[in-house]
Structure 1
Amino acid sequence: MMGGVTTLIHFILAVHYGYGINVYLYGLTPPEEVMEVRKLIGGQFKYLTFWDMLVQFIYFTLAFVNDILGSSTLASKNQSVVQKVRDFLFSTIVFALGSFVTISFWSLYHIDRQLIFPEEFDIWFPSWLNHNVHTTPLLGVLIELYLVPHTFPKRNTGLGMVAFLCLFYLLWVCFIAHQSGHWVYPILAELTVIGRTVFISSMSALISLFYIVGEFLNKKIWGAEQQQKKVK
């Protein structure tokens, strides 16, 4: 019974993100000044939230395929290739990135939404899509963590993957700013160089912390008899 529920949730979340990505790319009619920004280097790939939508869509599609064709066990010798890829993605990127996007967005939103999602966006960016992009990621990964046991890699490997993702994206953001004179997020334009350094360092530390939280919760939920098998 639980296996059927899990498969259904994976399918629903894959469709949910797939539809959201389609609307995000082709279904919005922002004002001209916003369109000009969206057309700058990188297009929608400027935004970490869009990266997260793609990551979550790919993950839950893969999880659905694994439910049909793969396996779900913590015994490494019995794991299918699809499960191994699923677990590595979830443990290193999916949980940390999904948690970070939701918590950082809504925290900044309630501090000063003009710095992250200006009020005028409400006119053309529907509320349901805002929650698709910024709320569902945390809900989805927590549900996944509760329903499915995952094999986590060695902590150094996991944190190394998270650090690589952070560094790659930050270099990308700086490259866009250098080439276009535009910071992807308004809050970065408001800060001094030192302020940006502190802000970026804090955000990188936070996303790394989420990796550790995911590792801890996976072990806590699934018990001592299903401790993570460290992937070499």
Structure 2
Amino acid sequence: MGERAGPVELLDALADLVLPRPCPGCGRAGPWCVNCARTVGRAPRRIRPPDDPAAAAGLPPAWALAHYTGPIRAAVLAGKEKGRRDLPPRLGQALGAGVLQLLAWGAVLEPVWLVPAPSRPSAARRRGGDPVRAMATAAARTVAAAGRACGVAPCLVTAGRARDSVGLDADARRRNLSGRIRLRPGGAPPPGADVLLLDDVLTTGATAVAAAAALTAAGHRPVGLLTLAAVPRSVSGR
């Protein structure tokens, strides 16, 4: 159920050999050094629901691998805004390890389908691809390599009229995305499968709430949300 490396990923790997890129977290040699990788190499932690009752009611159980600070923040931004297309697949491996832990806990069941949070089409074009989808693909490969059944269902799209969420508060983000995340039936997961939303960062939860609503309206049941990082907020054990 996993996917093979595409030509862009192969070219990025070749570029690393010819012209090694520095780690975005510390500047040392290597595209993503061992020490910085450890910041997301831990078991997923449950995220406290938003204070807003409406957002909390629509948000599935959420886990994150780290707080959105330090090396992981630098890596996410480099992958999104600085042309470091080599980083999302590496970060996706950490998400894959997180999915394996959720499977071990029984929080999700096989076969698990990873649904990447959607990006605006204009943002994906500007970035040379969708980083969250690249993370989901790498995560699915990691899970499949461990012998667990996992696939990617890139079925969510954001309507073009949705604004960039940068600078919007929680209420404005919800209004901006309400009804604007839609499901493409051709990319949907099989009926009845466990659906795990994947994203890079959890901030207000507006994207996850809108994505979960779109999946639920189409008859799918999102059992959780796994992100690389969450904006600093209290977390708990599994």
Report the TM-score, using the length of structure 1 for normalisation.
Answer: 0.27
Report the TM-score, using the length of structure 2 for normalisation.
Answer: 0.26
Give the structure with the higher percent strand.
2
